[in-house]
Structure 1
Amino acid sequence: MSIGEVLNFPINMVEVPDHNFVRCEFEDKTYVNWDNNSGQTFTDDYFRKGLTPTSSSVFTF
């Protein structure tokens, strides 16, 4: 978050039940949900279903 702030990159933290991720917003109003735990992107629908990378098989050690 702080790196995005210094570089003036539009990053926001999003909180969902039992999880947080960052959303990178672009000038054309599109955005990417990026999960720093898994290093992957996820759709809004993924999180709406109550899934999180740490509670699904997407995140493995």
Structure 2
Amino acid sequence: MLMLTRRDGETIVIETPSGEKVYVTAMRAGIGKVRMGIRANRDVVIDREEVYKRKMAEVANG
């Protein structure tokens, strides 16, 4: 796992093998919480991990 440190307003860029870029910006950090802004093409699905896992379980269960 890559660990990065960002300050409020700073961004990281994730580039997919196909060249699509996803921008993740640290919006605000507090005690025990971090707010992130995510910018990507509309066809990129972005979910919290717990939502993603639920979707995958629903697909697996038919």
TM-score normalized by the length of structure 2: 0.35
TM (norm. structure 1) is: 0.35
